[in-house]
Structure 1
Amino acid sequence: MELGTTAKPLHVAVLAFPFSSHPGPLLDFARRIAAHSATPENTTFSFFCTADANASLFSEQNNPRLPPNFNHYHVHDGLPDAYVPSGHPIEKVYLFLNAMPENYRRAMDVAVAETGKKISCIITDAFLWFGADMAAEMNAKWIPLWMAGPHALLLHVLTDLLRQKLEDDVCEEQSLSFVGGGLSKVKIEDLPEGVVKGIDDPFAIMLHKMGQMLPRATTVAINSCEAILPPAVNELKSKFQMLLNVGPLTTTQSISDVVPDEHGCLEWLDKHEKASVVYIGFGSVIVPPPHELAAIAEALEETKFPFIWSFRGDPEKLLPEGMLERTKSQGKVVQWAPQVRILRHSSIGVFVTHGGWNSILESILGGVPMICRPFFGDQMVNARMLEAEWGIGMAVKNGGLSNKDEAVKILGSALLSEEGKIMREKIAFFKEAATKAVEPCGSSTQNFNTLVDLATTS
């Protein structure tokens, strides 16, 4: 910049998808970008999410420690006045989808008026496909963040091809051998809802539009690293203007991990042998059906394996009668557990998980093989890749955890068998690659620095 010139004021709008585990990681991501901006005095960040989500994200308890140039605004949640829930599990999601993108536009207009700065860059959850048109209208950059893995993203980008190739009566066991990108072992039954079935669902329509719009992005950021499934990464690079692997994002402290270890899980783990403990956690949304909870509980009792179970709901009501008392010296059932730190503890031998991408990355960084019981979304294809492509986990489908004997068998295989040993050896490679990627000179760090330059320069 020449002496005497004034830098152009910059305004980065960050648009969050306000459901499940989506808003927190995007806030962390945007906060990191703001912290690394070369001209923080010249760059304003505005974060957009619903009032309910913002109340949690920016609460005193979460204490996100935001820089002074970082503001947040409320986006209308789409709920009508005097709204009475119908009981449909994702009714609020559908109502929100109906309200966007106009609800975001209105909130962004407020931010522009208050700051006096036109928006120069739009960072969105990748779900928010309309970022392409908004950026074009505002002459701004569009940087969507995909928080799952490259293989799942590739499936959404290839949705039109998959719908064209696959007939309605196709066998669920058929593999995607006609698709490149390292997806040959994925089967039709593994595809996320809405890719080839249920295509008229509002959520499916959103993801379909996302796959069509992402090639227009300035760059697509993804929560992965170059070493995880290079064929899918290379295929995505051929379809996008730019792809930046900036993960695993779980290596940075997230808002949710500020909560202390109030149940003493880590101290308890210190008393156990290496790779001997079962850690069970199905994420912040899922509660397995009662018969599966009972099967897992009965298997733990029979095997005597030490365990920590991060349990959603009331264990007194949902677990077999007397189980908590009978296993109080064997394990811990807690309402919340510091999962990132638990998975990095040497005594953890296996992670029983729903197969969400964040949980998978946390397990990889801990070097812990997985037993994956998927439920929806990308979890089925994640489970398939863990077992068939990477060899670092066991996929449980079709009620595999529905009875005690099967649960006993799979727990024993993971902790005691040669198969479990091989999984631990293989995941050590992934751990090393992911750890190197986020080192100061690592590929993900360099990609992140590139992204910061794109977002915070004119």
Structure 2
Amino acid sequence: MATKTHVLVLILPVQGHINPLLQFSKLIASKGIKVTVVFTNPIETTSLAGNESELIKFECIPERIKEKEVPENSAQNQDAHEARIQSLKVKVLEHLPLILEGKASSGEPVKVVVYDSLVHYAYDVAKELGIQGAAFFTQSAIVSAIFYHLHEGTLRLPLQGESITGSLPLVPSIFKQQDMPSFVNDSTGAYASILRFILDQSLNFHKADCLLINTFDTLEPQIVSWMVSHYPNVKTIGPSIPSMYLDKRMEDDKDYGITLFKPETQACKQWLDKKSSGTVVYASFGSLASLGDEQMTELAWGLVNSQCDFLWVVRASEESKLPRNFASELAGKGLIVNWCPQLEVLAHDAVGCFLTHCGWNSTLEALSLGVPMVVMPQLSDQPTNAKLIVDVWQTGVRLLSGEDGIVKRGEVETGIKEAIVGDRSIELKNNAVKWKQLAKEAVREGGSSYANTEGIVASILGN
């Protein structure tokens, strides 16, 4: 049903943030709502125009300054992070009002701004212009709750003792300090400014007109119930993945549409088509994680020693860390690509498990497609997601690092074998299939998450 309603969606141009927010944009556009997607930085990709439609248009906020690249492990790291955070805020506060005023003067006024929860000050811009504001949380409900309690002071840093359940009674008792988001356990180090940036998203609980969380009720029932009881404007709208993998309600919705990397789709498909059902290890550490040279070597030989076929995504910037001549000596047992169409790969019958960094999008995709996981979290919310995967949802195997912080090849080999052919492989697969069914039920007509998504028009438009 067509409507004159116009929604602006503000996205940080990081792949893990683009995917769910863009998917949400497509979903509300399918209800006849006009959507302007605005990226907080220019995106160097030709895919923007190709993904526009009658109801979805794209814009980018221009660069304010060309920021100097600083090595991740340099002494200047802290200052560099702080500079990027402040530059982002200045750009949004400067350009978002101009965009919103421009839409109004052109006869297409925006009624709601849906913004990445990290850019919480976008709400203040919207409110100043009399526009509703909805914060979109791209992480799990439990991680959002942890950050909320840290921001409110009911959970204090540094964390004391192994157990944190006294401060967070809704968190399962099995959660320990090491299961907290990595920035929480490095609150005074190089990532201190990032932690402050992340914690400030909790301001949305007190001011946003609607809080959208990319999860579904049956996945995190206790945390979601607590949130809704304290903040009735909380809506679960996940899993935000393309419709063809869930309810098939949006025709031809097979991928997110915009990728910052070029996927080697044909090569992946042709290689997977030659493999037997459930025999392939798919390994990917997302768009940001950077493994050290020694860890890459151990991971490489762990994959080989598992004697399983494997498809491994190694970004171009990481290729130099592979053992010498490694890719050329795999003899068909392994395929290394710079990027792949992850949903298509996970949905392929040949894939038996997913060796993952446990990013939230990857986690939701694996759960929604019924794929067991071998987890090797790196940073941010990934340790918490890994704990949920292994000990709460019981769909994965955890790889443990040694005293030097390196996951050794023997550990990689053992974890893969356990997930694909080990004693627990059937249990893991059955649990994964159960979550696949629950994810489909969540978005089915009448399911709680899909009902919330349908109700977004009424909720944030005040109807």
Which segments of 5 or more consecutive residues in structure 2 lack a partner in the other structure? 244-254
Residue pair 1:16, 1:124 contacting (<8 A) in 2 also: yes
The alignment status of 1:187 with 2:171, answered yes or no, reads no
Q: Distance in 1 between matches of 2:56 and 2:209?
A: 22
Q: TM-score, normalised by structure 2?
A: 0.85
Residue in 2 that maps onto 1:106 = 94
Q: Where does 1:224-263 land on structure 2 (aligned, <5 Å)?
A: 224-252=215-243, 253-256=255-258, 262-263=265-266
Q: Where does 1:46-61 land on structure 2 (aligned, <5 Å)?
A: 46-53=36-43, 55-56=44-45, 59=46, 61=47
Cα-to-partner distance string for 1:276-318 (whole Å, 9 max, x where unaligned): 1111000011232122221122123223211111111367632
Q: Paired residue for 1:65, among 28, 32, 51?
A: 51
Q: Distance in 1 between matches of 2:283 and 2:442?
A: 27
Residue in 1 that maps onto 2:401 = 398
**What amino acid does structure 1 have at the position aligned with 2:36?**
S
Q: Distance in 2 between matches of 1:146 and 1:104?
A: 18
Residue in 2 that maps onto 1:282 = 285
The alignment status of 1:435 with 2:440, answered yes or no, reads yes
Residue in 1 that maps onto 2:12 = 17
The alignment status of 1:321 with 2:324, answered yes or no, reads yes
Matched position secondary structure for 2:275: coil
Residue pair 1:279, 1:351 contacting (<8 A) in 2 also: yes
Q: Distance in 1 between matches of 2:185 and 2:323?
A: 39
Residue in 1 that maps onto 2:28 = 33
Q: Distance in 2 between matches of 1:223 and 1:87?
A: 31
The alignment status of 1:307 with 2:295, answered yes or no, reads no
Residue pair 1:193, 1:204 contacting (<8 A) in 2 also: no
State the shift of 1:77 in Å. 4.1
**What amino acid does structure 1 have at the position aligned with 2:199?**
H
Q: Distance in 1 between matches of 2:239 and 2:455?
A: 16
Q: Paired residue for 1:425, among 412, 430, 439?
A: 430
Q: Distance in 1 between matches of 2:203 and 2:284?
A: 34
The alignment status of 1:74 with 2:60, answered yes or no, reads yes
Q: Paired residue for 2:208, among 208, 217, 228?
A: 217
Residue in 1 that maps onto 2:247 = none
Residue in 2 that maps onto 1:123 = 114
Q: Distance in 1 between matches of 2:456 and 2:68?
A: 42
Q: Paired residue for 2:187, among 184, 198, 211?
A: 198
Cα-to-partner distance string for 1:215-234 (whole Å, 9 max, x where unaligned): 43222111111110211111
Moved more, 399-408 or 413-422: 399-408
Moved more, 127-136 or 380-389: 127-136
Matched position secondary structure for 1:294: helix
Q: Distance in 1 between matches of 2:209 and 2:101?
A: 25
Matched position secondary structure for 1:220: strand
Matched position secondary structure for 2:428: helix
Residue correspondences, number: 439
Residue pair 1:78, 1:96 contacting (<8 A) in 2 also: no
Residue in 2 that maps onto 1:146 = 137
- Note the aligned Cα RMSD (angstroms): 3.0
Q: Where does 1:292-303 land on structure 2 (aligned, <5 Å)?
A: 292-303=295-306
Relative to structure 1, the CA distance from residue 436 to residue 64 in structure 2 (aligned partners, 3 Å threshold; closer, same or farther) is farther
State the shift of 1:355 in Å. 0.4
Moved more, 441-450 or 344-353: 441-450
Q: Paired residue for 1:384, among 377, 382, 387?
A: 387
Q: Paired residue for 2:69, among 74, 85, 88?
A: 85
Q: Distance in 1 between matches of 2:157 and 2:267?
A: 53
Relative to structure 1, the CA distance from residue 212 to residue 51 in structure 2 (aligned partners, 3 Å threshold; closer, same or farther) is closer
Moved more, 205-214 or 195-204: 195-204
Cα-to-partner distance string for 1:403-445 (whole Å, 9 max, x where unaligned): 2222222122112212222111111111100012222333222
Residue in 1 that maps onto 2:250 = none
Q: Distance in 1 between matches of 2:183 and 2:154?
A: 14
Q: Paired residue for 2:415, among 406, 410, 417?
A: 410
Q: Distance in 2 between matches of 1:165 and 1:416?
A: 41
Residue pair 2:165, 2:173 contacting (<8 A) in 1 also: yes
Q: Distance in 1 between matches of 2:82 and 2:155?
A: 29
Moved more, 211-220 or 431-440: 211-220
Moved more, 314-323 or 147-156: 314-323
Q: Where does 1:314-393 land on structure 2 (aligned, <5 Å)?
A: 317-393=320-396
Q: Distance in 2 between matches of 1:104 and 1:168?
A: 32
Which segments of 5 or more consecutive residues in structure 1 lack a partner in the other structure? 1-6
Residue in 2 that maps onto 1:3 = none
Matched position secondary structure for 2:16: coil
State the shift of 1:248 in Å. 1.0
Q: TM-score, normalised by structure 1?
A: 0.86
Q: Where does 1:158-197 land on structure 2 (aligned, <5 Å)?
A: 158-160=149-151, 163-166=153-156, 168=158, 170-171=160-161, 173-195=162-184, 197=186
**What amino acid does structure 2 have at the position aligned with 1:13?**
L
